[in-house]
Amino acid sequence: MKVVIVGGVAGGATAAARIRRLDEKAEILIFERSGYISYANCGLPYYIGRVIPRREDLTLQTPRSFYDRFRIRVKVRHEVTALHPEEKMVTVKNLETGEEFRESYDKLLLAPGAKPLKPPFEGSDLEQVFTLRTVEDTFKIHDYIQSHHPKSAVLAGGGFIGLEMAENLRELGMEVTIVQRGSQLMPPFDQDMAAYIQAEMRRHGVNLALDRSVEGLRPKEGGVEVLLKDAPSLYGDMVILAMGVTPDSKLAREAGLALGMKDSILVNDRMETSQPDIYAVGDAVQVKHFVTGEDALIALAGPANRQARIAGDNICGGDSRYTGSQGSSILKVFDLTAAATGLNQRAASRLYDTERVILSPMNHAGYYPGGRNMTLKVVFDRESHKVLGAQIVGYDGVDKRIDVIATAIRAGMKIQDLAELDLAYAPPYSSAKDPVNMAGFIGENLIQGIVKQWGLEALPALMDNPGVTLVDTRTPGEYAGGHIPGFVNIPVDELRQRLGEIPEGKPVYLICQSGLRSYLASRILSGLGWEVYNFAGGYGYYETVTRERCLVEQSFPCGMKKE
């Protein structure tokens, strides 16, 4: 059996290695148009920022090492320019010599990946304008910085690449501005959780131009003038376009293979295309979202590697199936870690009647030194109670919790099932009630009606409503440091002695720093006959989200009164 693979990064290299492990006699040939194979896409920004010091650390394999270990032939700087399914042939161009030739196959695997979006506005081909997708792109940016010593950069796009590049360029001492078309960074996150990411960016001196669109680029004073729609232009010594990616499906389209959303390559759950003996994997293919079952494009390394393994199995006569992607991801944002899995609430609300729990526990036992708060938002279906997605921002331990919840989603668990998880505990790592368990406890309380909650979206109406009582259950010192106007301060430990200050017959809306003390207060008042609502998130959440909303839109009632 002869297998030809188009593309030698995550999907192509992984599939090739899997095929070899299953079939020692197969002839396997990879064509890769760049000069490198099996490189660490996700590490590229960190080489530019000198976190990864050596170029060779970016490449996990070389054509020689791949051949020595697997007896797989790799042809770099060779671009497949056409597919001929009826003949089982591909046309290949040697990019160094210009020579063209045809190569036959028994099985063909397409792993072309995705290409950066490069809008057709003026100036995108300027010397100071870059995209980042390949090792060559990385070296080009790195060498430009080394030779020209730019002092400022404008990044068009606030996704993974934009944020990682912003951090690394800022660490090099450059002034950095991110231009984002939408009103928030990182669209996989809900706006409230993205507020933490934006606050961390601002804290480290990154300028954010949200709700702004780049319309063109012009040379100016050795750098680039960035033209914005309905806003003053910006200047940068260099510009990086990180506006997302699109499936690189040109070969498939020209060969008549069936295409899906945004011209992605259509595959079944065996990673087979519409043409016999042609498979496709990675960022170029359309998949099913694991949670919804809907068609999706999810350009992440983990799914690409799993798809490649499945394709390799099936090329070798197996029957492996890809059950879908759920978009689990994690991002370093200076000192902060932000992670997500499944659906955010915005996306989930299109298909489900959703509820969410928001909590801000410490990453480990409070009595053990060095603990820091993280904020979890877990979204679940109000009817079935199934966990639909989660987002976490914080410091140590974020990765552990998001992986636990990602596993829970894969297992079809309900929000209350999180309370039953038997998770590892020692004071340096967690609490006896892990944050994931706590999310389950809160969800269970909501489902059983033990607690009713209110969210930030209700605040404008509450502040103008004389028919409700607003109570902050923190200490006087915390209250004096900042509170929501209209909320009176009755510390939870004084509540039973000060019940006369709370009018009967009016609903009571409570808040504290993290949600715990106001929960305790809600149980006291509920037990005595009041209708009570506890704030989802706590004052720390309110403060971060509200401050960021005020910076972005200047329209949300955002007073944080200090005495």
C-alpha dihedral over 297, 303, 307, 310, to 10 degrees? Answer: -140
H/E element, 229:
none
386 vs 415: CA distance, rounded Å: 6
The C-alpha angle with vertex 207 and arms to 203 and 213, in degrees rounded to 5, equals 145
> Shortest CA distance to 213 belongs to which of 194, 201, 230?
230
Per DSSP, the three-state class of 562 is coil
Residue 553's Cβ-side half-sphere holds a number of Cα atoms within 13 Å equal to 12
Between β-strands 89-94 and 100-104, what pairing exists: parallel, antiparallel or unpaired? Answer: antiparallel
138 vs 144: CA distance, rounded Å: 10
Between β-strands 214-220 and 223-228, what pairing exists: parallel, antiparallel or unpaired? Answer: antiparallel
> Are 454 and 542 a contacting pair, CB within 8 Å?
no
Residues facing 182 on adjacent strands: none
29 vs 110: CA distance, rounded Å: 12
What residues have CB less than 8 Å from 483, skipping those under 6 apart?
A: 472, 474, 489, 539, 560, 561, 562
Residue 218 φ/ψ, nearest 5 degrees? -135, 140
> Are 371 and 365 a contacting pair, CB within 8 Å?
yes
509 vs 388: CA distance, rounded Å: 27
Work out the number of other CB atoms within 10 angstroms of the CB of residue 292: 18
Strand order from edge to edge, sheet including 375-381: 329-333, 336-342, 387-394, 375-381, 354-359
User: What is the 8-class DSSP label of residue 496?
Assistant: G
Look at the chain and count its residues. 563
Which residue is catalytic, options 42, 316, 550, 558?
42
Helical H segments across 449-538, by residue range: 459-463, 476-480, 516-527
Work out the number of other CB atoms within 10 angstroms of the CB of residue 264: 24
Q: What is the DSSP string of 315-368?
A: HTT-------B---EEEEETTEEEEEEE--HHHHTTTS-EEEEEE--BSS-TTS
Q: Where do we find the tokens 């526990």?
A: 361
Residue 349 φ/ψ, nearest 5 degrees? -70, -15
> Are 391 and 365 a contacting pair, CB within 8 Å?
no
Per DSSP, the three-state class of 538 is coil
Q: Is 550 a catalytic residue?
A: no
C-alpha pair distances (Å), 121 with each of 73, 177, 250, 500: 40, 20, 22, 66
- CB-count burial class (<10 Å; 0-12, 13-18, 19+) for 35: middle
Active site residues: 42
